[in-house]
């Protein structure tokens, strides 16, 4: 006698970008360590903390970072860390130290740290636009009512 085997179908739910609520968060970078701050922000922007996380969809939130010039790095990296850029032409490589860059453009330091933790695809280019970094305590995103996030 044969027994009937009941088959259950399990489907995976893939969320779409329309299902993302797009929350706004505010992070104060004052006295925060750069790498730890960047990894938490990258998780938030990527949407890894969202229960409906889908790897190929934009499920992240917007993050506003203020006081970018007051971010810290550990050890002797302030003197040793270098940022390389290249224009694409022969001899077009430029090297800047962390100290030079923090004085001239502190927003770039945090943006680069977060960007390098995101996927190197079209999705990563789209996700980095959800990061807003500002030098001082003022930002123009008060209308979005960002929620204070402790990192």
Domain range for 35: 21-72+107-148
Is the whole-model pTM more than 0.75?
A: yes
pLDDT at 1: 64
Residue 5 lies in a domain: no
Domain presence at residue 79: no
pLDDT for 55-64, tens place per residue?
999 999 999 9
The distance of Cα 53 from the centroid of its chain, to the nearest Å, equals 16
> Has residue 144 been placed in a domain?
yes
- Domain count within the chain: 1
58 assigned to some structural domain: yes
Q: Is residue 131 part of a domain?
A: yes
Q: Is residue 9 part of a domain?
A: no
83-111 pLDDT, tens digit each? 999 999 999 999 999 999 999 999 999 99
96 domain residue, yes or no:
no
Residue 133 is part of a domain; what is its CATH number? 3.90.1180.10
What distance lies between CA 124 and its chain's CA centroid? Answer: 9
* Residue 4 domain-assigned (yes or no): no
**pLDDT tens string 5-57:** 777 888 878 888 788 888 999 999 999 999 999 999 999 999 999 988 889 99
Which of 131, 102, 97 lies closest to 114 in space, CA to CA? 131
3-state secondary structure of 29: coil
């Amino acid at each position: 006698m044969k027994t009937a085997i009941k088959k259950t179908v399990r489907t995976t739910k893939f969320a779409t970008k329309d299902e993302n609520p797009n929350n706004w968060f505010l992070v104060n970078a004052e006295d925060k360590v750069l790498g730890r701050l960047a990894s938490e922000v990258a998780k938030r922007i990527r949407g890894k903390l969202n229960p409906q996380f889908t790897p190929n969809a934009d499920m992240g939130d917007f993050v506003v970072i203020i006081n970018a010039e007051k971010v810290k790095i550990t050890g002797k990296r302030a003197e040793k860390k270098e940022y390389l850029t290249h224009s694409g032409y022969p001899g077009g490589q430029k090297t800047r130290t962390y100290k030079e860059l923090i004085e001239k453009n502190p927003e770039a330091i945090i943006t680069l740290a977060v960007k390098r933790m995101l996927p190197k695809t079209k999705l990563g280019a789209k996700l980095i636009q959800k990061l807003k970094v500002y030098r001082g305590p003022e930002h123009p995103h008060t209308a979005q009512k960002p929620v204070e996030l402790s990192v």
